[in-house]
Amino acid sequence: MNDVTLKVVGLSGTSEFIYRLLVSAGQMSLDEVTRHADLSPAEAVSTLDLLATAGMVSITEEQPPRYRPTPPDVALAPQIKQHTEALDLARAEVAELIQSYQATLRHQDTSQLIEVITGAESLRHHLRHIQSAARTELLWFCKPQYVAMPAGSNTAEFDGLERGVVYRVLYERAYFDDEGAVENIAKAVRAGESARSVPHLPLRMAIADRAIAICPLVPGGPQGSPEQPTAAMVRDRSLLSALLALFERYWEDATPLAIDGSGTGLTDAPRPTTLSAVDRQLLSLLVAGVTDKTIATQTGLSRRTVQRRINGLLQLAGASTRPQLAWQAARRNWL
């Protein structure tokens, strides 16, 4: 007898086997069902009656009667839909239970919110781990005088960039004075890192996938210093929101970095204060809520060109969404 695959809709192994027999034959007599299913007449009649009650089999009026299967889409699809809906409901309930369990656990165990990391070696291990586990985005505050990872040693970044992880890195100006820093940053920018600089950063920080952050509790000293760094691995949503807002605030006013003419160094990327007439028209339509298709018609550009120019404006403004672009356009007097 075949493995039971329709148990989810309430069929026993025997019921499923007989239903499959009928589907393959079109119709069968009781003797034929008994013989092919290797059942006694009583067992066959009982199973056929159950199938008939479930609306999966009909009985002809001829003598002796014959049994015909109800088409599977009629017999099984409604039941499968009911079970699918029940499964979706159960899945939602389980998700709520998981959230409730995790919330209770966090109240009972603060290590679920903040994990303390002590020592440069442990900090280096955790920084590499969150990068290898990242799937979408890494955000960094980089200050001079490294504590755990000297410039050029973060090979996990290149692995992440190759996987498609977005790296946005803010460098404090003094960071460029570290030995080999400029060359290493240039190498990362060529690999796809989006880099900017600011005169000063308030702390060191790394945030992975907007879900976990590492930042210092006790600053510690540079590598080789007798002072060992102590950092926090943060998972709490409210703390993460504050750190993300801090990053975006500094990123907004930072100076973009680009590869210089030699191809090995860095230079401040130009940030024009005015836009071309086409970009101003495109931006005004975008802010007004006009669709890309209509913008293309109004400007005489292809839809793909419109989207490419909008992406360029997003990068120019340091915005990640179109509402942010609209806000930046007003702030920079682009319209």
Q: For residues 204 and 213, give the distance between their C-alpha atoms in angstroms, rounded to a whole number.
A: 11
Q: pLDDT-derived band of residue 2, with 50, 70 and 90 as boundaries? A: very low
Q: Residue 64's closest CA among 83, 84, 48? A: 48
Q: pLDDT-derived band of residue 205, with 50, 70 and 90 as boundaries? A: very high
Q: For residues 173 and 181, give the distance between their C-alpha atoms in angstroms, rounded to a whole number.
A: 11
Q: For residues 287 and 268, give the distance between their C-alpha atoms in angstroms, rounded to a whole number.
A: 28
Query: What is the per-residue pLDDT for 273?
Result: 56
Q: Residue 78, preceding bond cis, omega within 30 degrees?
A: no
Residue 326: phi, psi to the nearest 5? -60, -40
Name which CATH class applies to 277-331.
mainly alpha
Same fold, 7-75 and 277-331: yes
Strand 137-142 to strand 166-172: parallel, antiparallel, or no bridges (unpaired)? parallel
Count CA within 13 A, CB hemisphere, residue 59.
14
Query: What is the per-residue pLDDT for 182?
Result: 85
Query: What is the per-residue pLDDT for 106?
Result: 53
Topology (CATH) of 7-75: Arc Repressor Mutant, subunit A (1.10.10)
Q: Is the pLDDT of residue 4 over 50?
A: no
Query: What is the per-residue pLDDT for 8?
Result: 56
Where are any strands of DSSP class E within the chain? 28-29, 57-59, 66-69, 114-118, 137-142, 166-172, 194-198, 205-208, 212-218, 230-234, 255-259, 266-268
Which has the higher per-residue pLDDT, 329 or 110?
Answer: 329
* Radius of gyration over every alpha carbon of the chain, rounded to an integer in angstroms: 32
Strands of the sheet with 205-208, listed across from one edge: 114-118, 230-234, 212-218, 205-208, 137-142, 166-172, 194-198, 255-259, 266-268
255 - beta bridge partners?
197
Q: Residue 72's closest CA among 16, 1, 3, 14? A: 16
Query: What is the per-residue pLDDT for 103?
Result: 60
Q: Is the pLDDT of residue 270 over 70?
A: no
Which has the higher per-residue pLDDT, 150 or 209?
Answer: 209
Which has the higher per-residue pLDDT, 168 or 300?
Answer: 168
Percent of the chain scored above 70 by pLDDT?
81
Per-residue pLDDT tens digits for 17-62: 888 888 888 888 888 888 888 888 888 888 888 888 878 888 887 8
Q: For residues 326 and 286, give the distance between their C-alpha atoms in angstroms, rounded to a whole number.
A: 8
216 - beta bridge partners?
231
- For the chain, the structural domain boundaries read 7-75, 77-108, 112-268, 277-331
Buried b (16+ CB within 10 A) or exposed e, 189-215: beeebbbbbeeebeebbbbbeebbbbb
Q: For residues 19 and 72, give the distance between their C-alpha atoms in angstroms, rounded to a whole number.
A: 10
Query: Taking a C-beta distance cutoff of 8 angstroms, is the pair 273, 192 a contact?
Result: no
Topology (CATH) of 112-268: Endonuclease; Chain A (3.30.870)
Query: What is the per-residue pLDDT for 107?
Result: 56
Q: pLDDT-derived band of residue 3, with 50, 70 and 90 as boundaries? A: very low
Q: Write down the mean pLDDT value for the chain.
A: 79
What is the CB neighbour count within 10 angstroms for residue 234?
A: 21
Percent of the chain scored above 90 by pLDDT?
11
Q: Mean pLDDT across the stretch 190-198?
A: 89
Comparing 41-50, 187-196, 264-273, 311-320, the range with the smallest average pLDDT is 264-273
Query: Taking a C-beta distance cutoff of 8 angstroms, is the pair 39, 47 a contact?
Result: yes
Query: What is the per-residue pLDDT for 111?
Result: 54
